Structure 1
Amino acid sequence: MMKRIDPIQINWKPAKNKVIPVYKQIIQYVCDRVASGEWVIGARLPSQRTMAKLFNVNRSTISIAIDELTSYGIISGKSGAGTQIVSNTWALMLPTKPSWKKLISSGYFQENNYRLQQINQLEFEPNIARLGTGELDLRLFPQKMWTEVLQKMSTEITSWGYAEPLGILELREAIVEHMRQFGINVSTENILVTSGALQALQLIASCMLKEGSTVFTEAPTYLKSLQMFQSAGLKLNGITMDHDGLEYWKIKNQIKNSESSILYTIPTNQNPTGITMSDIRRKELMDFCIKNRLPIIEDGAYQELCFDNDQFKPLKSIDDNGMVMYLGSASKTLAPGLRIGWVIASKPVIQRLGDAKMQMDYGASSLSQLVFAEFLKSGKYSSYLVDLKKTLKKRRDNALECLTKYFSQLATWNKPIGGFYIWLTFNESIEVDDIFERALKKKILLNPGDIYDFKHNRSIRISFAYLECDEFKESIKKLALLLMDK
């Protein structure tokens, strides 16, 4: 006769005033009950809705805890049987076995925000509409040009040795020529080729800023969605924006020590808001930073994606004092998988970053460097950008028309002059966390604004770069109907 398993009883609530996140308190509570034998294998947990009431938390918090407990192998959802305790071995791990859970949480590199981890995984789900993704539509890749370049490379490349510490000279020479159109006049000694602009940020965080330093940045910002700066013991300080860009004067009273502060900014087609800093504001910002001895990291990932031939000069182009480290990238224009980025800075800075990079990976991919150099030198890259910007402008206009048609009563938004993004803010009656989960059931993946901000907001990042016009219209219509059906 099968032994009867008593139903699980919960007479506990997490402390919301603790430093430990509520979902982690819930995880620990479940583990403790299993380890003590109070909750046995086969015991069934209450529904997520019921647990949310018992713990007095949102269902999204319960969902996070359930996902992590499932990843440990402690619980499992079985069809028709709900969520059950399936193992107690995690708590009874023998001393001779490595405690991987303890080891993976002991490194200095912090975990991404849970929602961001979830998005990173869901982006690879089949048949999902990525309405906020930071990636260019793969169908826009210039396949014909790529084939031509590779065929040329196949006859010219005779060896595959390590590249020079600062990157292959041929590529650095091509970047020097390419950046002149933006008013940036430097030599090859001022350029370091990196594995994407993201590695450049890692290099700066790890070898140029001491622990406790303050990184000023726009609020919201792409940087807030990363953990590399916080992992290095740096403090992020968000500064608000208006339609002209960063409100730099709000930094003044917060600079305690210019030697331990730096500014990170995306002045052109900012991620996630799409705001482009005006020329007047750029000049004022440079004057402010020079006066206050505040170095600048300028992220130019979207610099080349201004529509209608609008050209806003990079901060680096008006930098006569070596204040600016400029980051460039091929990830947002050509292909993220190429993993090609670059830093433009004074020679001592480039030498320091280059030395650190050699310790990390001993050089970016030689093939990627040579291929991108050929794209630049042959004129194929410039030709491709002309067509790409026409396509993106068409998609932006389509996105704005769709939003006007379906979201006029639900939200407000801006009109970007280029890039990928529209920053959409919902009316007060709408909560993004709830929308995220409901949209996911309709196979629509959103990027909530909280990922990028320093405080709670009701915004989402909309991308018009990944979906074709008809696909975008269908997804935005579904989302609007979902909201009106609440």
Structure 2
Amino acid sequence: MKTKSSGTVIIDWKPDKGSDITLTKQIIGYLKGRIAKGDWLVGQKLPSQRKLAQLFDVNRSTIAESLSELSALGIVDSSFGKGTTIINNTWSLIFAGSTPDWNNYIEHGIHRPNNPTIQAINKFEFFEPITRLGTGEMSPDEFPCDLMASVLKRVSDLNISYNYLEPLGLYELRAGLCKYLKKFNLSVEPSQVLIVSGSLQALQLISLSILGPNSVVLVEEPSYIKSLRVFDFSGITMKNVPMDKDGIQPWMIDDTILKKGMSILYTIPTFHNPTGITMSENRRSELLRWCRLNQLPIIEDDVYRELYFDDPPPFPIKSIDTSGNVLYLGSVSKSLAPGFRIGWIIGPESIVERLGDIKMQTDYGSSSLSQWIMTEWFASGLYEVHIQKFRKQLKKRCFFMLRLLDMYFSDIATWNIPKGGFYIWLKINKSIPIEKVFHHALKDNILINPGDIYSFKKNNCIRLSYSYASNQDMEDGLIKLSNIIRKM
């Protein structure tokens, strides 16, 4: 059978040592069952025999006997030095005739599977022993539980409905957001705002609503969007544009690849993900001017704007947009909680209406409860109270990581000094296979984000985040990571 699936399976089961059924039969039955149900697919690897013995709490000889029988059935292939791979699940069709071939369905789906490294990151982030040095989220320790309790009390006292909302989202939230965004020199009306479930959904709606097959999306090199498949299924092509210390370089855009009415530029100008670069005020004006002249719309992803340490960053590109050239994205996923699933798109009414119509066709609106809660966060002024406190904590976390880098990485890497946001872009001095660094770190329960998942080419970079891990975890993890890099 042709192998297309990849990645290592996850196991959270142990055999019952008090059962009359032998441990070997229990393990074989468990492995068969996971494959039969389509939980594990052809091409996926089982953990090593040593790891399986640890997971199942049995002798390694028991594992060897179990895998030998599965190999004899033609279900797995155990090759010395290459591990054990699932090679066949057609036996399940013989013994359970009603079971569909889920692998075949998956292979013919519209969306391609994610990069194996990104799949691993998504899976292992939630394993208890893992130290997360790349996670772009606020630490649970920083969540303002006391303020949240106050907001929830306010919402519970309101006489409101939690039914479906209008296509653009809760009017009270859109109106409150327009008022709040004036501090960024943004003057917009509620009719120009669409509430979405975060910036990722905003990008999905844009790809479905105003882009099509053969469209071109210009992105920074490197860019967060490169780590996603958000544009792939539509046949949209991404082209990279170089950056310098001031941000994306519009004069480096190859205008011969632009297709009128079918091209758009995506940028994260403030505390860029993954490099941490903030686009200068002059560059913002220059980029907007170039895009206007070439009739190229801009998607401005501004989710990190409020996470500055000392001086506020330049105003958004959208604040100087007088011709409706910019679609502006924001959310509270980085500044408050990704679990709220609340973000927004701001743009011309015609575009916002179109995006809202497509959103209604896909999920019938973001959570009404979350929208009422966010309305209270803004209206009460407690969101601003939280942000001011969070900035101070984020700055302390950043400086702590920078001290650790000075101690353990000064002779093997260089890095940026952030002025806000979540990330440090670590560049290893010598050329080493960054994917191997990732896997060696994972074996030591250290989870990092290798730089090449954000790039169109291989690089020697790692995106580190100081926003999530505790100080102790940061130190332990970075010591281990520096030792791994030195050995390589």
| Partner amino acid, structure 2, of 1:300 | D
Structure-2 separation of matches of 1:75 and 1:462: 29
SS at match of 2:424: strand
Q: Check if 1:150 corresponds to 2:152.
A: yes
Residues 309 and 483 (structure 1), Cα distance of their counterparts in 2 relative to 1, 3 Å cut = same
Question: What residue in structure 2 maps to residue 321 of structure 1?
Answer: 323
Question: What residue in structure 1 maps to residue 277 of structure 2?
Answer: 275
The Cα shift of 1:74 comes to 13
The Cα shift of 1:263 comes to 0.1
Contact kept, 8 Å, 1:131 with 1:445, in 2: the verdict is yes
Which portions of structure 1, spanning 4 or more consecutive aligned residues, are displaced by more than 6 angstroms?
Answer: 72-76
Contact kept, 8 Å, 2:184 with 2:319, in 1: the verdict is yes
The aligned length equals 428
Question: What residue in structure 1 maps to residue 297 of structure 2?
Answer: 295
SS at match of 2:243: strand
**TM-score when scaled to structure 1?**
0.83
Question: What residue in structure 2 maps to residue 379 of structure 1?
Answer: 381
Structure-1 separation of matches of 2:227 and 2:43: 25
**TM-score when scaled to structure 2?**
0.83
Question: What residue in structure 2 maps to residue 90 of structure 1?
Answer: 89
SS at match of 1:192: strand
Contact kept, 8 Å, 2:395 with 2:420, in 1: the verdict is yes
| Partner amino acid, structure 2, of 1:121 | K
SS at match of 2:309: coil
The Cα shift of 1:90 comes to 1.4
Structure-2 separation of matches of 1:399 and 1:75: 34
| Partner amino acid, structure 2, of 1:416 | P
2:443 to 436, 441, 444: 441
| Partner amino acid, structure 2, of 1:90 | N
Structure-1 separation of matches of 2:48 and 2:418: 46
Structure-1 separation of matches of 2:90 and 2:45: 10
Question: What residue in structure 2 maps to residue 38 of structure 1?
Answer: none
Contact kept, 8 Å, 1:326 with 1:345, in 2: the verdict is yes
Contact kept, 8 Å, 2:5 with 2:43, in 1: the verdict is no
| Partner amino acid, structure 2, of 1:345 | G
The Cα shift of 1:68 comes to 5.5
1:267-320 superposed Cα distances (whole Å, 9 cap, x missing partner): 000111111111111110010000000000000110111220323111100100
The Cα shift of 1:244 comes to 0.6
SS at match of 1:259: coil
Structure-2 separation of matches of 1:384 and 1:453: 34
Contact kept, 8 Å, 2:425 with 2:464, in 1: the verdict is yes
| Partner amino acid, structure 2, of 1:386 | Q
The Cα shift of 1:192 comes to 0.3
Contact kept, 8 Å, 1:192 with 1:343, in 2: the verdict is yes
Question: What residue in structure 1 maps to residue 255 of structure 2?
Answer: 253
Structure 1, unaligned runs of 5 or more: 1-19, 28-41, 43-66
Residues 113 and 379 (structure 1), Cα distance of their counterparts in 2 relative to 1, 3 Å cut = same
Q: 1:347-386 alignment to 2 at 5 Å?
A: 347-386=349-388
Question: What residue in structure 2 maps to residue 424 of structure 1?
Answer: 426
The Cα shift of 1:438 comes to 1.5
Question: What residue in structure 1 maps to residue 415 of structure 2?
Answer: 413
Structure-1 separation of matches of 2:6 and 2:220: 34
Structure-2 separation of matches of 1:415 and 1:68: 43
Q: 1:46-85 alignment to 2 at 5 Å?
A: 69=42, 71=44, 79-80=60-61, 81-82=63-64, 84=68, 85=71
Question: What residue in structure 2 maps to residue 306 of structure 1?
Answer: 308
The Cα shift of 1:469 comes to 2.8
1:450-472 superposed Cα distances (whole Å, 9 cap, x missing partner): 11111111111000101233331
Structure 2, unaligned runs of 5 or more: 8-24, 26-39, 54-59, 76-87
Question: What residue in structure 1 maps to residue 81 of structure 2?
Answer: none
| Partner amino acid, structure 2, of 1:186 | V
1:184-221 superposed Cα distances (whole Å, 9 cap, x missing partner): 10000000001111111110011110111000000111
1:340-359 superposed Cα distances (whole Å, 9 cap, x missing partner): 00000000001000000111
Residues 71 and 431 (structure 1), Cα distance of their counterparts in 2 relative to 1, 3 Å cut = closer
1:213 to 191, 212, 215: 215
SS at match of 2:265: strand
Question: What residue in structure 1 maps to residue 125 of structure 2?
Answer: 123
SS at match of 1:193: strand
The Cα shift of 1:75 comes to 11
SS at match of 1:217: strand
1:90-134 superposed Cα distances (whole Å, 9 cap, x missing partner): 134357642211112212122111110111000000021100111
The Cα shift of 1:254 comes to 3.9
Moved more, 431-440 or 416-425: 431-440
| Partner amino acid, structure 2, of 1:333 | S
SS at match of 1:370: helix
2:191 to 189, 192, 197: 189
1:108 to 96, 107, 110: 110
Structure-2 separation of matches of 1:310 and 1:440: 36
The Cα shift of 1:237 comes to 0.5
Q: What is the percent sequence identity of the aligned residues?
A: 43
Contact kept, 8 Å, 1:213 with 1:234, in 2: the verdict is yes
| Aligned alpha-carbon RMSD (Å) | 2.4
Contact kept, 8 Å, 1:192 with 1:342, in 2: the verdict is yes
Contact kept, 8 Å, 2:418 with 2:424, in 1: the verdict is yes
Residues 366 and 157 (structure 1), Cα distance of their counterparts in 2 relative to 1, 3 Å cut = farther
Structure-2 separation of matches of 1:171 and 1:472: 37
Contact kept, 8 Å, 1:300 with 1:327, in 2: the verdict is yes
Moved more, 263-272 or 74-83: 74-83
| Partner amino acid, structure 2, of 1:452 | Y
Structure-2 separation of matches of 1:361 and 1:239: 33
Structure-1 separation of matches of 2:289 and 2:407: 43
Structure-1 separation of matches of 2:153 and 2:221: 45
Structure-1 separation of matches of 2:41 and 2:430: 31
The Cα shift of 1:329 comes to 0.4
